[in-house]
Chain A
């Protein structure tokens, strides 16, 4: 049982309207590990997280979390599963009508009958972990982008979930918060025995903390390996990504006609 990975995606395809976003994704998140998903903007990373969280349903293939097939769960089953998951949204998604404190306390109040004093202690612990204990009374509109993300992180770990999905936890953080959050992800993972999926662009920071990396490009997994394998990889995709080169097998551009051709056509039309 425990050798079985916590999350397993088998031949997953996903299509928005008619545009294929993910094609034949096979992915495993072992228990107790931190796994990174990397790739260019728009390659389908957030979509993958939403499939794991059951907010989107795979067009074909199977998404399995903790032994349950997410595609087949009914609403109650899905909600039961989600109580054991935390998700950090790409843009924070804090509840703007609640203070920082109430945001972090939200799930505790919704899902448990804990007395207020205990909730208070737990909230303080979570906020302390992200260094924002002093900000408990602020409203989300009074936070900077990086602070909001750290509050969202505290909220995601509020109920000590089994699995945490981080969508771009490092975006918009200053170097100090960045390494603090990086270490926090690792520490939470190891101390609480949870598993983590980290979607990120930040290669250098994430290679320090993750166990395994998947590279996604245009909806397919193009490379994978442990952090050390990735660092020494000779794969052109990986090399290009780590060194941030515009030229290489990964295309920086959203699919379009070649630029020269387009300019030529538009010029011809203008004439």
Chain B
């Protein structure tokens, strides 16, 4: 009977949707617990600083190098387009605005998700699989307060700083290609940039974006790790899900934030 097959397909679809929604609810409660039990992470701030080292500082190289290359490409592409309209001295504006508003926060977040998010998930997942989290519970130490919260805040704090460094490196890359290599006038490159990049409109909005992205990535990473099946396959699946889910979430959130921020402009 075809109706039978259809019913089963619908049932399957329904179950998958409700499963997702359950998990989302569970993740939301987990986030609340993480924030509520953040006392330890903030009071004993060296716990969080240690994690900032692992997530933030160890991501520096990839962020700086990628920023430089993205900026250099922007310099080439931007010059090519701008000089057709005879406005190649606007290159500084183009490079700075693209980086500060969009590419800095978004590309840095994507890199951060795959460099640090995956590592956080794998670490927490392995701690779960080897019963370290259970052992901690048995020692009357809450793993959410001791393990999860410091990693979460480390991600939230590192992300805006990394995005800023990414943008700064990118602007330097644009300068290298535009001014040093192609020969755009150095004075107008910098002065036009300074004149048209607005601190509140452009820079602060970029920082807000990267802050939101940092929270999203850290949330997904700690949740996937904490919630994973405590086996080798479970950890590897969770790590993959962290990268895929947070990348999609970053792009979706970027669209929403951009629509809200630059509506009038």
Which A residues have a C-beta under 8 Å from some C-beta of B? 53, 55, 79-80, 82-83, 85, 87, 89-91, 93-97, 106-107, 110-111
Instruction: Tell me whether B139 and A107 are in contact (CB under 8 A).
Output: yes
Which B residues have a C-beta under 8 Å from some C-beta of A? 123, 126-127, 130-132, 134-142, 146
Find B131's partner among A79, A91, A107 (CB 8 Å cutoff).
A91
A94 to B126, CA, bound (A): 12
A178 to B136, CA, bound (A): 26
Find A83's partner among B134, B140, B146 (CB 8 Å cutoff).
B140
A90 to B126, CA, bound (A): 16
A82 / chain B contacts, CB cutoff of 8 Å: 137-140
By secondary structure, the B interface counts as helix
Instruction: Tell me whether B135 and A107 are in contact (CB under 8 A).
Output: no
Contacts A82-B137, A95-B132, A96-B132 known; list 16 others, CB within 8 Å. A53-B138, A55-B138, A89-B131, A89-B134, A89-B138, A90-B131, A91-B130, A91-B131, A93-B130, A96-B126, A96-B127, A96-B130, A106-B139, A107-B139, A107-B140, A110-B146
Q: B127 to nearest A CB, angstroms? A: 8
Give the one of B137, B140, B142, B146 with max A CB within 10 A: B140
A110 to B43, CA, bound (A): 13
Instruction: Tell me whether A93 and B131 are in contact (CB under 8 A).
Output: yes
A67 to B126, CA, bound (A): 36
A95 to B138, CA, bound (A): 13
Instruction: Tell me whether B142 and A79 are in contact (CB under 8 A).
Output: yes
A242 to B138, CA, bound (A): 32
A90 / chain B contacts, CB cutoff of 8 Å: 131
B132 / chain A contacts, CB cutoff of 8 Å: 93-96
Q: B254 to nearest A CB, angstroms? A: 33
